[in-house]
Amino acid sequence: MALTAIIEEHGGSDKLKLVDLEVGEPGPGEIRIAHKACGLNFIDIYQRSGLYPMELPHALGMEAAGVIEAVGEGVTHLRPGDRAAYAAMPPGAYTEARVMPAAQLCPLPEAISFDEGAAMMLQGMTVEYLFHRTTPLKAGDTVLFHAAAGGVGLIACQWAKSEGIHLIGTAGSDEKCQLALDHGAEHCINYSTEDFTARVKELTDGKGVDVVMDSVGKDTFMGSLDCLKPLGMMISFGNATGPVDAFNLGILAQKGSIKVTRPTLFAHTADPATCQEMARHLFDKVASGAVKIRIDQRFPLAEVAKAHDALEARKTTGSTILEL
């Protein structure tokens, strides 16, 4: 049996429920993993609330790290006793142990702790695809990155610096802006006291940025379009303030033939070889010291509702993990 956080209906954090579930044995293409720590991400809130509906009841959680206990037929890249980490479908990481498909589990190097592994996979591989798989980026390009003091943001600040990309961040307080600056952002705009669009234009001498990376959603989307250079790329990869409203595609032409995309991590990692390649790239960045994983909040699994409340209220910085 494994203590597991599930929901039986969509709604607020009060819908999270702790139960003991049978773990079982892995079938073909599956593994059984004993978790050491689990990650917490906004997608978990989207699934809990019903923004991303799921068949219920269902366990939550998209990433974790731990030790492989058993492997099913056909699994060749992992063996019992191996350290592993993942960000993968289906949800179910908020648990002491689980059986799950093996393809997206990645061998975790000894140089990276279980806590780091649990905190970095979804956020770190998101940064990997944003910078390397969505639109061409090169040294000298300028990126506007919203929520730069969050878990994804702090990794992005360091990633950009390591590759010579100029990153302008936004955050909701002076303290969060300083955190982003400390992690490699060249500028950070406090959007609670400044008009981020006007400030971006000022910082870029009126030219705008090459790319906007926006996980905030509804509240920042239209302003972000005005931050782009002609032919620039808007990457909308999250909905922290709600889904983006419908808009006339003609606006993109009016603003300089700009482009918009709405990618997801799991479209990139669906191919097992690509998933492993992305993970290795992330592990190399962390092992080299170019990217440090900052874990600012830790909650026991039994306090998962408190963890959701803190993340949803935007009271967190860096990454948050659930300890087991």
Q: What is the pLDDT of residue 314?
A: 86
Closest CA to 163 of 127, 196, 134: 127
Which CATH superfamily, name and number, covers 135-262?
NAD(P)-binding Rossmann-like Domain (3.40.50.720)
Q: Tell me, what DSSP letter sits at residue 318?
A: B
Look at residue 102 and give its three-state secondary structure. coil
For residue 122, which of 222, 264, 303, 235 has the smallest C-alpha distance?
264
Q: Which CATH architecture has domain 2-122+266-323?
A: Alpha-Beta Complex (3.90)
The residue length of the chain stands at 324
- For residue 322, the model assigns a pLDDT of 98
pLDDT for residue 243: 87
- Closest by CA to 53, choosing from 22, 91, 25, is 91
What tens digit of pLDDT does each residue of 135-152 get? 999 999 999 999 999 999
Percentage above 70 pLDDT, the chain: 100
Which amino acid, 25? E
Q: In the prediction, which pLDDT does 154 show?
A: 96
Q: Tell me the domain boundaries of the chain.
A: 2-122+266-323, 135-262
Q: Please state whether the predicted TM-score (pTM) of the whole model is above 0.85.
A: yes
Q: Look at residue 242 in the predicted model and tell me its pLDDT.
A: 87
pLDDT in tens, 91-134: 999 999 999 999 999 999 999 999 999 999 999 999 999 999 99
Q: Which residue positions in the chain have pLDDT lower than 50?
A: none
